[in-house]
Chain A
Amino acid sequence: MNHFPEAWGRPRDDVYGAYNSTYLQTSGPKAHTTSPAVTGTSVLGVKFKGGVVLATDNLASYGSLARFTDVKRLRVFGGKAVVGFGGDVSDMQYIDRLLESIDIRENYSSHGNMLNAKNLHTYLAKVFYKRRSEFNPLWNHILVAGFDADDQPFLSSADLLGTTFSSPHLATGFGAHLAVPILRRKFPDERGIETISREEAIEALKECLKVLFYRDARSLDKYSIAVITQEGIDLREDEQIEGQSWAFAETIRGYGSQTS
């Protein structure tokens, strides 16, 4: 046995040859995160009459590997707002700690935490923008849901560049391609959120999650869903996509073993 601790846990030189230290970069530009590592996929959100629904699946992928299947990607802030995270999971955990410390600081005030979802979204967008300007981005795309200062339902997105976007229904990641068209068909602009019921909004998101599970290879059939109303936040983190039917898969050609 080699008694030098620096050799422990390494491939043995006598078996594998000496380590080629040119793999280690010792010069050149400093590289911050240039790609995410463990990632969450889509976040979906819809406004309805009197509130907002947010949903994500519970998967954290490591590349194409479905690495963690119980990751909660919806985070409640101060009992008033919910943030849904897509993108890098470790950066999500960092932002979650940031939110925790803000909540604690705000609660020193005699009136408690008075930051609403809109304030939170403004803040997080600034955090993202600052980090991207330092060439050290937080690799996330988030949705923030809750209420604004006028107690109107609020839903808005912010991404790793600090770009913000708002709409009555939003989706990040693959969902931006697959879920948004479904949501736009169900809730066209001219309908207005006043005509959308809570149940309808939840059903629509469940439908979108199912489509995403069918077609997004980085998704999972276990999901979390949060309903934010003036009465409070109903967060369910251990849900299962119901009524799957893979019959359509038989007809799909063009990849795998069925290339013809």
Chain B
Amino acid sequence: MFRNNYDNDAVTFSPQGRIFQVEYAQEAVKQGSVVVGLVNKTHSVLVGLKRNAEELSSYQKKIIEVDSHMAVAIAGLASDARVLSNFMKQQSLSSKMTYGRPIPLDRIVTQIGDRAQTNTQHYGKRPYGVGLLVAGVDAAGPHLFEFQPSGLTHEMQACAIGARSQMARTYLERNLDKFDGCSRDELVTHGLRALKETLSQDKELTMENTSVGVVGLGTNGKMEAFKLYEGQDAVPLLEALEQADSAGAGEGESMEVDS
């Protein structure tokens, strides 16, 4: 029944120094549908692949706006993500109320990291079964953070979590040096292409299953509020991806499109 004696709770180490409940929670993240995040000097982009439980149901939301300057993309248990994003919304609102400023990204990410960590050290609690990519802007510019059920958080230049996300990470690693110099729209295209890499043979990106979120600094250096592209709004972005890919293919290259 049990895989071993050390996975009944999240407070007991195995003799190898592992906490199995935390590792299982990380498995839940791997089973969630993929989300990709990437950042350059001006913008932070989240891209997600939505799943529907059955043909007749709606698609599960993948990107949640926390505040006008910040959003999270989720992979794993959506209900756990809702708890975390509600907490983030509260914290963000309270920062705006007391200081009149959007909460700095590293601050709020540290807060959810601390919350998740306590779940790994108290008997009777369970870790969050969700991984997050937190994208946003603050006084120090655009940021992307990765959050894991263990409470670990990292600031990233690009990241992908969820099912088959390794393919997206490979794409991001290969094209990392192109992100900084590219425009907002090109960054979105890079994100969509990374997402496309993760799809199995019979799947493709459609306006129904694709979610894109962008937040960043406008040309005047002022904050450009978070914008979510779903459904009809996502169509132009998918067309841009298609165009860029076919232009690249015409030149005899499969990937290079922004030269």
Contact = CB atoms under 8 A, between A and B. Distances in A.
Does B associate with A? yes
Interface of A: 109-111, 114-116, 118-120, 122-123, 126, 149
28 contacts: A109-B106, A109-B107, A110-B106, A111-B104, A111-B106, A111-B138, A111-B139, A111-B140, A114-B101, A114-B104, A114-B138, A114-B139, A114-B140, A115-B99, A115-B101, A116-B101, A118-B100, A119-B99, A119-B101, A122-B98, A122-B99, A122-B100, A123-B98, A123-B99, A126-B97, A126-B98, A149-B101, A149-B139
A110 B105 CA distance: 10
Contacts of B98: 122-123, 126
Contacts of A120: 99
Pick the 5 closest A-B CB pairs, nearest first.
Answer: A122-B100, A111-B140, A119-B99, A114-B139, A119-B101
Nearest to A150: B222
Contacts of A109: 104, 106-107
Nearest to B107: A109
Q: Determine the main DSSP class of B at the interface with A.
A: mixed
Interface string B187-208: 0000000000000000000000
Nearest to A102: B99
Contacts of B139: 111, 114, 149
Contacts of B138: 111, 114
A72 B64 CA distance: 48
Given A109-B106, A118-B100, A122-B100, 13 more contacts: A109-B107, A111-B104, A111-B106, A111-B138, A111-B140, A114-B104, A114-B139, A115-B99, A115-B101, A119-B99, A119-B100, A120-B99, A123-B99
Contacts of A111: 104, 106, 138-140
Interface in B67-120: 97-101, 104, 106-107
Contacts of B140: 111, 114
B91 to A, nearest CB: 14
Interface of B: 97-101, 104, 106-107, 138-140
A122 B98 CA distance: 7
Nearest to B100: A122
A123 B99 CA distance: 5
A159 B235 CA distance: 54
Contacts of B101: 114-116, 119, 149
Contacts of A119: 99-101
Contacts of A110: 106
Nearest to B96: A122
A123 B138 CA distance: 18
Contacts of B106: 109-111
A149 to B, nearest CB: 7
A197 B145 CA distance: 44
A245 B207 CA distance: 81
Nearest to B141: A111
A226 to B, nearest CB: 22
B144 to A, nearest CB: 14
B46 to A, nearest CB: 21
A116 B106 CA distance: 18
Nearest to B155: A110
B114 to A, nearest CB: 12
B76 to A, nearest CB: 26
B147 to A, nearest CB: 16
Nearest to B139: A114
A110 B107 CA distance: 9
Nearest to A116: B101
B137 to A, nearest CB: 12
Contacts of A126: 97-98
A115 B104 CA distance: 10
Contacts of B99: 115, 119-120, 122-123
Contacts of A122: 98-100
A232 to B, nearest CB: 18
Nearest to A114: B139
Contacts of A123: 98-99
A109 B139 CA distance: 12
B58 to A, nearest CB: 38
A157 to B, nearest CB: 16
A118 B99 CA distance: 8
A99 B122 CA distance: 34
A189 to B, nearest CB: 25
